[in-house]
Structure 1
Amino acid sequence: MNYQDRDIIQQKGEFFVVGVNKGEIRTTNLGGIINNEAQTKSRTEAAAEIQLLLKRLEKTNPTTTEIEKLTVVAKATEAINQNPTLKARVINALKAGGTEAFKEAVDHPLVNILVATIEGWRETE
């Protein structure tokens, strides 16, 4: 059996069930597809959580001046840093999907400042 044969499931014999394929099913990229879907879901969930955090902080803190914006980002950074699971998910989301994709997923004006801080964490790990 060569390498390519391992990625093919042969279906032989009599099948009396409607809808059964008597051919072959190629599994070569199946694991990659499943992993990509899981990464996309994780990245989307992490981005949604960060977006919610920023919106919640923005409601209770003004963001008119640069100092006020930095204060909100500092509070968000502190909240993420105190939640190791969220911190790991955010760092992994940046690694897997890239910075720009994560920024688009968060869709909040303060995300650019926050991502700069998170990228600093990513570099130290």
Structure 2
Amino acid sequence: MEFEERPISSKTVFHGHLIDVEVQQVITPHGNKTQREIVHHAPAIAILALTSDNKMILEKQWRAPIAKTTLEIPAGKLDQRDADNALHAAKRELNEETRYEATSLKKISSFYTSVGCMDEYMTLYLATGLKRVST
């Protein structure tokens, strides 16, 4: 069975600082016409940062979409400073968000975060050998 849909039109309906939203009209493999809403997001990184006594560094973040404070691993999107280099972004985000640097940053995995509606591609790193960075 074929699963691929064929786009017949596409329009960016929102362009924001963090995301763009595209609406596509597509033909399904069964010949039906339907609409897809796609969120475009820059590639991102996340870091499992472990201290020498094997404790994970977490941070509190306010998240407007759920109107709650969450406890999260350090993460962020790649930007122009990173030149499409996920490792550079991981080092930068670890420093910016936690004031730590790591003697070892190893890629664990890469994956799409929510393929039902967005194209954000996340690279996950393990950070060890943490040292505090002076402010």
TM-score (norm 1): 0.29
Question: Higher helix share goes to which structure?
Answer: 1
TM-score (norm 2): 0.27
The structure with the larger Rg is 1
Question: Higher strand share goes to which structure?
Answer: 2
